[in-house]
Structure 1
Amino acid sequence: MVEAFTKVSEASRLLLDKGLCPATGAEALGMVARTLKVDRACIFENRTTNLAGRFLTDLRHAWAEPGVVSPHAHPVLRSFAMRDYALSWMDMLEAGMVVSCTSREAPPLMREVLERQGVQSVLLCPITPAKQWWGFVAFEDCHQARVWRPEEVSLLKSLARAIGASVRHANMRSSLSQVRTNLTSVLRTASGDT
């Protein structure tokens, strides 16, 4: 388990140094997932559509063990209406709670989605960069109906915090860049007036 905590630390450093993008997202997920012998790991981001404010969750980054079908191969995960498939899970994640269960224990529509993908058990942890729920990170076991141990839950929470910190850092950089652009524009306008 010490190796797994070391990998979470390395993944955290990677995400803070290079930011969350497809390459670093997959690499960070793989670092941690391999040590826990997890078949797949994913990062999902929430969004609200312009069409009647519909809430969707999108698969953004994923890692899969060689020989396991990538989550990106499942179109249903691209714009996933979690409220329709697992309202109780959505409520738990939004409240900052972890979801841990076998596919058999999942809500009926979610169970169908998981079983079509060959997932036996899942562990989901919310990502909350600030006060608002941003998305979640998921570990999936495709070989056994795994009961997640407390130390595995702790590792996933640590990884979710690292992802949240990376998102928060990127948001701060973006805000600072916008402020810098606005100040430059104001200074140019002011110097042109004098």
Structure 2
Amino acid sequence: MVEAFTKVSEASRLLLDKGLCAATGGESLGMVARTLKVDRACIFENRTTNLAGRFMTDLRHAWAEPGVASPYAHPMLRSLALRDYAMAWMDMLEAGMVVSCATREAPPMMRELMERQGVQSALLCPIIPAKQWWGYVAFEDCHQARVWRPEEVSLLKSLARAIGASVRHASMRSSLSQVRTNLTSVMRPASGDT
């Protein structure tokens, strides 16, 4: 378990140093997932559509063990109406709680989706960069109906916090950049001023 905590620290450092992007998202997931012998790991981001304000979660980053189908291979995951598949899971994640579930115990529609992907059990943790729920990170075991140990839950929470910190820092950098741009345009003398 010490190695797993070390990998979470390394993943956290990577995310804070380089930000959450295509390269770091998959790499950080893989660092932690490999040490826990997890088959797949994903980061989903929440959004609301323009169509009647429908809530969706979009697959943003993923990692899969060689020989296991990538989450990207499943079109349903790219943009998932989580409330339709597992309303209780969405409520739990939004409340800051972890979801730990064997596929056979999942809500019916979610169970069917997980079975189609070959998932035996999943562990989901919310990502909350500030006060609002941003998305979630998921670990999936495709070989056994795994009962997630408390230390595995703790590791996933740590990874979710690191992802949240990376998202928060990116937002702060973007805000600072916008302020700098606004100040620069205000400080520039208008043409014709002397």
1:182 is the counterpart of 2:182 = yes
**Alignment partner of 1:26 is 2:26:** yes
Q: Does 1:5 align with 2:5?
A: yes
What is aligned with 2:104? Answer: 104
Over the matched positions of the two proteins, sequence identity in percent amounts to 89
SS at match of 1:132: coil
Are positions 1:161 and 2:161 aligned together? yes
Structure 1 residues 181, 149: closer, same or farther in 2, change over 3 A? same
How far residue 191 of structure 1 moved from its aligned partner, in angstroms, is 7.6
Structure 1 residue 188, shift from structure 2 partner: 1.3
Partner secondary structure for residue 83 of structure 1: helix
Q: Counterparts in 2 of 1:89-128, with a 5 A limit?
A: 89-128=89-128
Q: Deviations over 1:159-188 (max 9, x none)?
A: 000000000000000000000000011111
Whole-Å separation in 2 of the counterparts to 1:158 and 1:73: 27
2:50 matches 1:88: no
Relative to the length of structure 2, the TM-score reads 0.98
Name the aligned partner's letter for residue 76 of structure 2: V
Q: Which amino acid aligns with 1:165?
A: A
Q: Tell me by how many angstroms 1:192 deviates.
A: 5.6
Could you give the per-residue CA deviations for residues 59-81 of structure 1, whole angstroms, max 9, x where no partner exists?
00000000000000000011100
Q: Which amino acid aligns with 1:28?
A: S
User: Which AA in structure 1 matches 2:111?
Assistant: R
Can you give the 5+ residue segments of structure 1 that lack an aligned partner in the other structure? none
For residues 12 and 193 of structure 1, the distance between their equivalents in structure 2, rounded to whole angstroms, comes to: 50
Equivalent-residue separation in structure 1 for 2:79 and 2:192 (angstroms): 48
Q: In the alignment, which residue of structure 1 is the partner of 2:139? A: 139
- The aligned counterpart of 1:74 is 74
Give the partner amino acid of 2:25.
G
Residue aligning to 1:149: 149
Q: Which amino acid aligns with 1:102?
A: A
Taking the aligned partners of 1:91 and 1:151, their CA distance within structure 2 comes to 23
Deviations, residues 36-80 of structure 1 (Å, cap 9, x unaligned): 000000000000011111100000000000000000000001110
What is the number of residues matched between the two proteins?
194
Matched residue type, 2:59: L
SS at match of 1:69: coil
- CA distance in structure 2 between the aligned counterparts of 1:39 and 1:24, rounded to whole angstroms: 18
